[in-house]
């Protein structure tokens, strides 16, 4: 038998998309004493700006290492985020529409968690942290607690890391934000010093030729983010497209 893998009890892999939730999740893991490695996925997403955000946020917040894994989900399509032929719906168009919007990427978190598990197992990390949230969210089924718990169990059965003698998974899936509102997440992140101006949530931003970023202010992700800042009573430093009217006059820069 090969020797058992030594899993560092305070070592964690953090899924870092570059958005507000995952940045807060990383800050929380660091605040709780974890030695953090971040992982991002270049999956053919429309909002590629988030990859640059993740690359800046990871060392900025204090992660020890940042890994980008290419995943060709664009070849599969089936989502407004991976198929240029499917328009990103506005938040207004979502009212009364299907509970799972076209921005859902088929099996995205299932795939990402599987890859994060491979990384954790290789790196000897005993936890995977994911900023999934099932309160102020878009109804994606792979953001919910039952899925995360079932995934953890599945991964434990199917990996060398496996199950501990006490019956728990050797690699735990930690989702500290799953039951928090967006406003609560923003308050937590702010208390931990997350610079939300560096995070990117918009599904359909405008990027100028010289690389300036403007959130659209109209997609569901922008709407949830903006409402969260308003509810939290914290200034929204998101730079919105200048041709749009905003309640906080937030078109900085």
- What b/e string do you get for 105-136 counting C-beta neighbours within 10 Å, with b at 16 or more? beebbebbbbbbbebbbebebbbbbbbbbbeb
CB-wise, 154 or 206, nearer to Zn ion? 206
CB of 49 to Zn ion, least distance (A): 11
CB-wise, 128 or 215, nearer to Zn ion? 215
Which of 219, 232, 239, 241 is close enough to bind Zn ion by CB under 5 A? Answer: 219
Binding mask 173-212 for Zn ion (x = CB under 5 A): -----------------------------x----------
- Determine if 15 is a binding residue for Zn ion (CB under 5 A): no
CB-wise, 38 or 238, nearer to Zn ion? 238
- Determine if 222 is a binding residue for Zn ion (CB under 5 A): yes
CB-wise, 80 or 215, nearer to Zn ion? 215
Q: How many residues bind Zn ion (CB under 5 A)?
A: 5
Nearest partner of 9 among 33, 37, 40, 38, judged by Cα? 33
Rg (CA), the chain: 18
Placement of tokens 């660091």 in the chain: 30
Q: Which residues are within 8 A (CB) of 210 and not within 5 positions of it... i.e. 6 or more apart? A: none
* 3-class state of residue 163 by DSSP: strand
CB of 202 to Zn ion, least distance (A): 3
Q: How far apart are CA 89 and CA 26, in angstroms?
A: 29
Stretch that binds Zn ion, among 64-72, 122-130, 139-147, 221-229 (CB under 5 A): 221-229
Q: How far apart are CA 6 and CA 172, in angstroms?
A: 15
CB-wise, 39 or 81, nearer to Zn ion? 81
CB of 56 to Zn ion, least distance (A): 20
CB of 87 to Zn ion, least distance (A): 13
Which of 23, 120, 175, 216 is close enough to bind Zn ion by CB under 5 A? Answer: 216
- Please report the beta strands in 92-192, taking only residues with DSSP state E, as ranges in sequence order: 125-129, 172-174
Q: How far apart are CA 26 and CA 21, in angstroms?
A: 9
Binding site for Zn ion (CB under 5 A): 202, 215-216, 219, 222
């Amino acid at each position: 038998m090969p020797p058992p893998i030594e899993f560092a009890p305070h070592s964690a892999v953090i899924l870092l998309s570059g958005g507000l939730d995952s940045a807060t999740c990383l800050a929380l893991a660091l605040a709780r004493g974890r030695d953090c490695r971040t992982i991002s996925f270049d999956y053919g997403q429309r909002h590629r700006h988030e990859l640059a955000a993740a690359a800046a946020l990871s060392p900025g917040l204090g992660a020890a290492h940042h890994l980008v894994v290419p995943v060709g989900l664009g070849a599969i399509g089936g989502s407004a985020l991976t198929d240029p032929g499917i328009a990103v719906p506005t938040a207004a168009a979502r009212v009364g529409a299907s509970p799972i919007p076209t921005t859902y990427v088929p099996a995205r978190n299932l795939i990402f968690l599987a890859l994060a598990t491979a990384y954790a197992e290789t790196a000897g990390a005993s936890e995977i942290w994911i900023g999934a949230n099932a309160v102020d969210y878009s109804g994606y089924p792979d953001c919910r607690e039952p899925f995360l718990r079932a995934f953890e169990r599945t991964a434990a059965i199917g990996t060398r890391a496996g199950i501990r003698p006490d019956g728990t998974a050797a690699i735990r899936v930690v989702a500290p934000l799953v039951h928090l509102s967006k406003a609560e997440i923003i308050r937590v992140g702010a208390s931990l010093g997350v610079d939300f101006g560096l995070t990117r949530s918009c599904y359909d931003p405008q990027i100028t030729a010289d690389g300036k970023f403007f959130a659209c202010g109209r997609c569901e992700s922008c709407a949830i983010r903006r409402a969260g800042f308003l509810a939290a009573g914290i200034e929204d430093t998101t730079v919105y497209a200048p041709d749009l009217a905003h309640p906080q006059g937030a078109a900085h820069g």
